[in-house]
Structure 1
């Protein structure tokens, strides 16, 4: 009896174990089959991926299908010019950014001289000059035959710069014990911008210079650079006015003075001057004496006429027969009324100033606006000899007033528009809007 029970118990235990093993064997076979199938599918996917990668790497980006010349022009137009922005190339403005995209862009950027025609370095210790020379060699190679301009700080020792045409120097705190001759071998250098008064230790090819812009503290510039034709200058603090010895220059054709007008004009004689801008300051007496002394054929004159009496601008009549472009900044009430007088001859009549082709008055005080009928009469009398007229107020002019003029009664705006339609370029309004349509 006991033996039968034991056999029955063992049979009960053995039956499920045997079934589980069979199920596991079947399951294992299924998994092996699935693994083989997935390996086959994975192999096919890897082959497809390799084919797609090959197609991707051999298919150029749409932008790379452009001709290199077009891409180069896009690069040039993407980066703002230094002269326009006044900013240095750095970060997103740097042409170096273009070289980080791909090898094709790098090659195009390196082969585009205009991207590398401006170089600005700040090298305070003189032992950094070796780095400067290396960079100059690289930049000169990149620039090929394009003009190369450098913006430099704290440099010494001469170096061959055959492409250099323009230099901007910053020398606020220079050590005068170090002589700087780095620009002595720049045969094409002709334009100099000095952000601060240049110390005497900076050597420059003065005889080559034709354009100067920057700060001065005396008039030695006009002795050092006898071939200058264009100067824009600001006079720094005059510590010793008696040190201003009179200078004469026979080639300068254009002079703009941003500060120190009186000091400069009373000590200069410019016999070849054609364009003069002294609109930053009012100094009628010095200007009159300068014009009398220079006897130059002025074609363009920009002045500030804030004097209460227009007789203070007698200097205008000294150049009346040659003047073609007259710009009056911040004209006084008497200046305005003497030009646009309805009941008296204009001080700028065609008889007195026969060659004026452009007349500009800006910064006009709202209290001193011209008599509009006088303005119409002035423009009508010069309609055949004054191609361009600008009058800029600080407020919107009222031109809807109707008046009888030229045989018809219309608004001031309509009369002015008729003159404009007849060929005169008229601007009458604010800095933002011209009210003559």
Structure 2
């Protein structure tokens, strides 16, 4: 206590302590203290009155400025016209819809969200509705803005939603969800994006306050749900939805992004439950988990699949598939068990790069499949390229009306004693040249392009790709731009060939576009640089883009 301290040590006693004595001695100024003249008391009082008077005057001027500003603002609002507000309601509505985030952006919502703020997907409709009365009226009358709702469950999710002292946070969330979905209309299909990030380990009992609210909303609106995106553990979602008591009569698409490495059999059981209670279920996306194809799931409903699979039984179990995008890592047992599979409905097949040690499975898959209805084939590039023998084998067996092909072309040197990979690729393109419309080639050499595209030929009657409309070349070394430009001119105005509508070139590092001028007919007339010829082709209607890995070349700069 201060009294005891003050009684024990007087100021004089403390000042005699060695440390305090040194401090006081060192702080004393050396020499005489300079005299600082001070204003008389009367002058100080007079100056204080002057300052107070100036403050009062400045406050009066500031109030007058605020009044003038308010008057000018009111007059401006009454007379000014804002062009954006003069647009027809239909155009404004379309602009609002284009502002909505995509499903891919919704999946990233929970990773970029700031605490205490609405999700990005919530910000767009709410921001549009809070701009002005006209926009609010349009936003509230546009059901498409309100058909998607994200559910984000985390430890502090109870703080979500508007605050009101008369209700609990959970009640606020329930009212908020109901009000949001009511704006979507009574008949519009809904999209729910459900992300769960609960770390307490006590999710299954539904102990969190918001879990019951979200569960109730999913049950009540299950009959209107068309698209369900799950960025969560399948175990958590299964417990939340309680599939045994929920039907989804309109559900067509389910996306599962499971980072918890849930066992295959549990994922298969989950999908099976969805299929049995969703008669319109058509599209299944498994982002980070594989489906155990040996589980007896009735996949006759599926028309679109994306994910990783460990064998080829999917193609037998889902005979109505139209589009498949998947990566493979087949076990030795799976490779021994597979026989030739014919799938008569598949129109689009995209094989993404699998695990590094399993990329040879891609060629094995192509050797096993027969796809007579195939329209689009996209094969992995980079180190996980596919051999031309496998592609040629698939095309010869299937004889499909292929319209789109994307693949990497090996850059192996020519060996005149045996057919090179370029010769085998030539056979592949010859097998589908009569129907091919879109071609995407990775790492083609100049020699290969000259052979495939007949760049140096003016004979349109024997062009191997007469219906080509879109061409993309990636990492093509030593591009001869003069020959390439002449090819583009020929494909843009030849009466015997379909017009090439789109061309994209991603050139390798070190390739430059110089100022060399040339003409198409080798005359002085019409001599232009590459950029000049590209501008001319674009004016004629061709969509051209030339870029490197780091920048897009601007031909109008």
SS at match of 1:287: helix
Which residue of the partner structure matches residue 66 of structure 1? Answer: none
From 469, 474, 477, give the equivalent of 1:362. Answer: 474
CA contact (8 A) 1:109 1:115 kept: no
1:189 aligns with 2:284: no
Which residue of the partner structure matches residue 390 of structure 1? Answer: 504
Q: How far off its partner does 1:282 sit? A: 2.9
Which residue of the partner structure matches residue 216 of structure 1? Answer: 309
Cα 1:340–1:107 shift into 2, 3 Å: closer
Which residue of the partner structure matches residue 433 of structure 2? Answer: 320
Q: How does 1:372-383 map to 2 (within 5 A)?
A: 372-383=481-492
CA contact (8 A) 1:252 1:272 kept: yes
SS at match of 2:541: coil
Q: How far off its partner does 1:417 sit? A: 2.0
- Give the TM-score taking structure 1 as reference length: 0.71
Q: How does 1:37-186 map to 2 (within 5 A)?
A: 80-84=101-105, 86-87=107-108, 89=110, 92=117, 93=119, 99-100=161-162, 108-112=179-183, 117-121=192-196, 135-142=214-221, 145-151=224-230, 153-154=234-235, 155=238, 158=244, 159-169=246-256, 170=258, 172-174=261-263, 176=265, 179-180=269-270, 181-183=272-274, 184-186=276-278
Which residue of the partner structure matches residue 268 of structure 1? Answer: 369
1:300 aligns with 2:404: yes
| Structure 1 portions without partners, runs of 5+ | 1-71
Cα distance in 2, alignment partners of residues 122 and 253 from structure 1: 37
Q: How far off its partner does 1:274 sit? A: 0.3
Cα distance in 1, alignment partners of residues 94 and 528 from structure 2: 52
CA contact (8 A) 2:470 2:502 kept: yes
SS at match of 2:483: helix
From 533, 537, 542, give the equivalent of 1:419. Answer: 537
**Matched positions, count:** 365
Cα distance in 1, alignment partners of residues 98 and 455 from structure 2: 51
Cα distance in 2, alignment partners of residues 403 and 78 from structure 1: 45
Between 276-285 and 97-106, the greater mean CA deviation after superposition: 97-106
Q: How far off its partner does 1:234 sit? A: 0.3
Alpha-carbon RMSD across the aligned residues, in angstroms, is 4.0
- Give the TM-score taking structure 2 as reference length: 0.57
From 405, 417, 423, give the equivalent of 2:520. Answer: 405
C-alpha distance after superposition, 1:116-152 (max 9, x if no partner)? 6222458999966999998455224347735241426
Q: How does 1:326-341 map to 2 (within 5 A)?
A: 326-339=439-452
Between 109-118 and 231-240, the greater mean CA deviation after superposition: 109-118
Cα distance in 1, alignment partners of residues 369 and 492 from structure 2: 37
SS at match of 1:208: coil
Cα distance in 2, alignment partners of residues 344 and 251 from structure 1: 38
SS at match of 1:227: coil
CA contact (8 A) 1:302 1:327 kept: yes
Cα distance in 2, alignment partners of residues 323 and 419 from structure 1: 22
SS at match of 1:276: strand
C-alpha distance after superposition, 1:50-99 (max 9, x if no partner)? xxxxxxxxxxxxxxxxxxxxxx9999988844423543647543667773
Which residue of the partner structure matches residue 346 of structure 2? Answer: 252
SS at match of 2:325: strand
C-alpha distance after superposition, 1:197-227 (max 9, x if no partner)? 2135866541111110000111100111111
Q: How does 1:220-235 map to 2 (within 5 A)?
A: 220-235=313-328
SS at match of 2:492: coil
Which residue of the partner structure matches residue 547 of structure 2? Answer: 429
Q: How far off its partner does 1:387 sit? A: 1.4
SS at match of 2:161: helix
Cα distance in 2, alignment partners of residues 168 and 410 from structure 1: 51
SS at match of 2:352: strand
| Structure 2 portions without partners, runs of 5+ | 1-92, 120-149, 153-158, 165-171, 354-360, 413-419, 494-498
Cα distance in 2, alignment partners of residues 200 and 323 from structure 1: 33
Cα distance in 1, alignment partners of residues 464 and 454 from structure 2: 15
Q: How far off its partner does 1:105 sit? A: 6.0
Q: How far off its partner does 1:107 sit? A: 5.5
